[in-house]
């Protein structure tokens, strides 16, 4: 005989998550986990104020935090109190600096360039605010530089604001010193290091344009001893994937071995890589294979690397985003379109990278062109549907763009650089146009067999950044 559940008809017994999402909450007893929370691996709680049965006022869904409205309001109020206390405690903080920090930490919509879709803006702002109480003097200058670059991006001009750019570079220089002096002695220090390094990378890409990969390598190398290979605690360290992505992009271009790879055993929707975070380890493996092929002529090693490429191709070709039923419940339709498009173009990008490691230009070009056109179509369709360009698609866009051979399409592709190369990196957009034009020219003249063999541009090491880009302070 089935156990009966005693319910008070005047009280609601749905858990907070099912209540907020207006989903049916099924559980054996009021103290047990409901079927939905257990299936999704979520904490099943009923801590909201109990209300009598009756018509309920409609509330919008909070797809990102999945908290009740009152809970979200309390969280924002706690963040603001913590921000105010930290700013008041900072010595020698000028009024204009306080205004900049409040802009960065109190306006989630200003962080749109930091995230793949708007649903993550509030979560991103909370993670920045949550780190400030741990080490306000260390983070202050990096946050100030970040606030200035965001204001410049919002104004639509960076190069015309020489005074602000000069001020930003000064803050970056001091933040660099803070990063070097930061001791990483325990696992808790890694989040602070990754936060500081990521905010610096964002600001440097916007204000200077060189040196970001060295920041990434420094942070990832410094924290290696305290970081596992999984991303199961991605919500606690949301910046690690950003650093890994930026370094992987550089390693792919220069045929280097990345510092770190990550795995995603659980369902994670990353703030920057969305649903395609599980593809990042395959890009890491492709970088390692590329580096190994560059430095060996041993036939047996080359044969082993070829088998590895075949294996990666087989896995990536059949890869699809997992747990689609979960993220459909969490995001609105425009964000879902962008997340799915991003996953598709990163999959196609990985196929193209592996393809060019297996076959040089002039060999199997038809397949490469098919994948390239498919990636471009995904980007364009997502833009038409959502009325905004897809964020964090630089890597697959460039990989697909090098395969364009038609002259008219090449002209259109150069115009698309401004849409699909990261908006926070104006120097990178300019460099991408130059790079694509050069690769196409070299390919047409049979001067290069693979696009990553034609790269040659300065990228100063970390020790030289101060001497070449920063004024001493």
In sequence order, which ranges of 132-237 are alpha helices (DSSP H)? 136-155, 162-181, 187-207, 212-222
What is residue 345's predicted lDDT score, i.e. its pLDDT?
98
Name the token pair of 75.
Answer: 């969280």
Spatial separation of the C-alpha atoms in residues 169 and 82, rounded to whole Å: 27
What is residue 15's predicted lDDT score, i.e. its pLDDT?
79
Taking CB atoms within 8 Å and a gap of at least 24, the contacts of 259-265 are 259/216, 259/217, 259/220, 259/221, 259/224, 260/220, 260/224, 260/227, 260/229, 260/284, 261/229, 261/285, 262/229, 262/230, 262/231, 263/229, 263/230, 263/231, 264/230, 264/231, 264/234, 265/230, 265/231, 265/232
What is residue 116's predicted lDDT score, i.e. its pLDDT?
92
What is residue 200's predicted lDDT score, i.e. its pLDDT?
94
What is residue 20's predicted lDDT score, i.e. its pLDDT?
61
What is residue 45's predicted lDDT score, i.e. its pLDDT?
74
User: Domain limits of the chain?
Assistant: 1-59, 68-227, 278-453
Cα-flanking dihedrals φ and ψ of residue 262, to 5°? -130, 155
Residue 116, CA distances (Å) to 25, 150, 275, 286, 464 in order: 31, 16, 10, 24, 32
Residue segments in the chain with a per-residue pLDDT below the cut of 50: 1-11, 52-69, 158-161, 229-232, 457-473
The pTM of this model reads 0.79
Spatial separation of the C-alpha atoms in residues 359 and 423, rounded to whole Å: 32
Residue 444, CA distances (Å) to 253, 355, 405, 440, 450 in order: 20, 19, 9, 6, 12
What is residue 328's predicted lDDT score, i.e. its pLDDT?
76
What is residue 136's predicted lDDT score, i.e. its pLDDT?
79
What is residue 84's predicted lDDT score, i.e. its pLDDT?
74
What is residue 228's predicted lDDT score, i.e. its pLDDT?
60
What is residue 34's predicted lDDT score, i.e. its pLDDT?
81
What is residue 156's predicted lDDT score, i.e. its pLDDT?
64
């Amino acid at each position: 005989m089935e156990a009966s559940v005693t319910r008070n008809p005047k009280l609601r017994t749905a858990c907070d998550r099912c209540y907020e999402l207006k989903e049916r909450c099924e559980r054996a007893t009021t103290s047990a986990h409901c079927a939905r929370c257990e299936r999704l691996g979520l904490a099943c709680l009923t801590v909201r104020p109990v209300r009598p049965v009756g018509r309920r006022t409609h509330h919008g869904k909070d797809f990102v935090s999945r908290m009740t409205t009152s809970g979200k309001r309390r969280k924002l109020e706690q963040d603001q109190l913590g921000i105010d206390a930290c700013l008041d405690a900072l010595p020698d903080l000028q009024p204009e600096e306080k205004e900049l920090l409040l802009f960065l930490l109190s306006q989630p919509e200003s962080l749109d360039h930091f995230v793949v879709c708007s649903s993550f803006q509030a979560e991103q702002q909370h993670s920045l605010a949550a780190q400030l109480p741990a080490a306000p003097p260390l983070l202050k200058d990096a946050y100030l530089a970040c606030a200035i670059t965001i204001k410049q991006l919002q104004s639509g001009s960076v190069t015309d604001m020489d005074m602000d750019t000069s001020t930003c570079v000064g803050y970056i220089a001091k933040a660099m010193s803070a990063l070097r002096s930061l001791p990483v002695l325990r696992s808790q220090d890694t989040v602070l290091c990754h936060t500081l390094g990521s905010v610096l990378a964002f600001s440097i890409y916007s204000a200077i344009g060189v040196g970001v990969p060295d920041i990434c390598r420094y942070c990832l190398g410094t924290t290696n001893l305290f970081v596992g290979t999984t991303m199961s605690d991605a919500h606690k360290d949301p910046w690690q994937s950003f650093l890994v992505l930026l370094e992987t992009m550089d390693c792919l271009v220069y045929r280097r071995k990345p510092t770190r790879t990550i795995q995603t055993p659980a369902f994670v929707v990353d703030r920057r890589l969305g649903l395609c975070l599980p593809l990042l380890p395959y890009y890491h493996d492709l970088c390692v294979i590329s580096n190994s092929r560059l430095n060996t002529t041993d036939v047996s090693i080359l044969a082993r690397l070829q088998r590895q490429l075949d294996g990666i191709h087989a896995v990536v070709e059949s890869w699809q985003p997992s747990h689609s039923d979960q993220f459909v419940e969490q995001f609105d339709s425009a964000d879902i379109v962008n997340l799915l498009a991003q996953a598709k173009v990163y999959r196609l990008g990985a196929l193209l990278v592996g393809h060019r490691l297996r076959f040089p230009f002039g060999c199997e070009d038809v397949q490469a062109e098919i994948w390239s056109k498919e990636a471009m179509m995904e980007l364009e369709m997502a833009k038409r549907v959502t009325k905004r360009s897809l964020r964090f698609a630089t890597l697959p866009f460039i990989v697909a763009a090098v395969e364009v051979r038609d002259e008219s399409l090449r002209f259109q592709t150069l115009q698309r650089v401004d849409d699909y190369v990261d908006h926070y990196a104006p120097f990178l957009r300019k460099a991408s146009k130059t790079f694509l034009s050069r690769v196409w020219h070299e390919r047409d003249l049979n001067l290069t067999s693979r696009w990553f063999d034609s790269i040659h541009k300065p990228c100063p090491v970390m020790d030289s950044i101060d001497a070449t880009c920063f004024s001493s302070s």
